[in-house]
Amino acid sequence: MLIDTYGRVATDLRVSLTDRCNLRCTYCMPEEGLQWLAKPDLLTDDEIVRLIGIAVTDLGVTEVRFTGGEPLLRPGLVGIVERCAALTPRPQMSLTTNGIGLERTAQALRDAGLDRVNVSLDTLRPEVFQALTRRKRHDDVLHGLDAARTAGLTPVKVNTVLMPGLNDDEAPDLLAWALENDYELRFIEQMPLDAQHGWKRDGMITAGDILTSLRTRFTLTAEGEDERGSAPAERWLVDGGPARVGVIASVTRPFCRACDRTRLTADGQVRTCLFAREESDLRGALRSGAPDEEIARLWRLAMWGKKAGSGLDDPSFLQPDRPMSAIGG
């Protein structure tokens, strides 16, 4: 069990498979990209599967989310999914992706055992997509979403970040589109995880702004805390349901008290929080020949030291040194 001093138990593991990405989203990294991790620093496929196996069989993890960077850039992704699906007990497995390449891989991932996907899409307008991502790949994402739905990677969730002056007027249109296509839309407040450290609290599009915009066209009914559990998204029934829309308000409505997540970076570091400035090394233990029991002990020790909250509401908050692409979303 991965328990901390506040009594929270981590059962949801987020695994970054690579720090590389084929987009250059303005809220994540600079136009020229970043200095990627060297291949020897990355966990191998075998190391990833071993760590996930320890988490599932020895530490009580029941859900695994593969992230990046962009996880579809990991050559061994399908094989990793297939091997993790064979674990006992079998974890629920999902993938967070920008959708580029999903059209050609969705069915293989489903056949390997992946349960569902989250796809990032911030706009319905190709020109805005290009401005946000610095790439002309809007159609590729739409095709990837369609392929995921066809393959049965459902519910297909769409993650959207609204940025001032770019797509902050699109919330109602995005929700109407998601309802029409049977996708579950989730708006995410922009978080201080950009490599440029250019994030500013003032002027960001908040959960309150998003809900006000949506209510110009839809009736929203709060689902309630009992239904939410430890999920990061607050959800609302749309026009009486059953369709829902979610808002992840990491900045203005932190949900740290119910957090059940532990994170593993692409180079084998445990992170107790997306906004943590400290990490605990498991790669070194793996490569020095440590047995599973020792690795599990190190993981428990790391999680025992998890802080009460993210610190975002503290005026002295400092962004993590590593950007989102290295941490894993």
Residue positions in the annotated binding site for S-adenosyl-L-methionine? 27, 69, 120, 191
Q: Which residues are annotated as a binding site?
A: 14, 21, 25, 27-28, 65, 69, 96, 120, 157, 191, 256, 259, 261-263, 273
Q: Which residues are annotated as a binding site for [4Fe-4S] cluster?
A: 21, 25, 28, 256, 259, 273
Angle between helices 126-133 and 138-151 (to 10 degrees): 100
Q: Which residues are annotated as a binding site for GTP?
A: 14, 65, 96, 157, 261-263
Token output for 126: 């190709």
Q: How many CA atoms within 13 Å lie on the side-chain side of 205? A: 25
Distance of alpha carbon 218 from alpha carbon 212, whole angstroms: 10
Residue-by-residue DSSP string for 40-103: GGSPPHHHHHHHHHHHHHHS---EEEEESS-GGG-TTHHHHHHHHHTSSSPPEEEEEE--TTHH
Pairing of strands 220-222, 244-248: unpaired
Strand partners, 235: 246
Q: Which of 44, 54, 43, 80 is nearest to 303 (CA)?
A: 54
Residue 107 contacts residue 87 (beta carbons within 8 Å): no
- In whole angstroms, how far apart are CA 231 and each of 49, 158, 221, 228, 250? 25, 15, 17, 6, 12
**What are the phi and psi torsion angles at 262 (to 5°)?**
-130, 150
35-59 as b/e: b if 16+ CB within 10 A: ebbeeeebbebeebbbbbbbbbebb
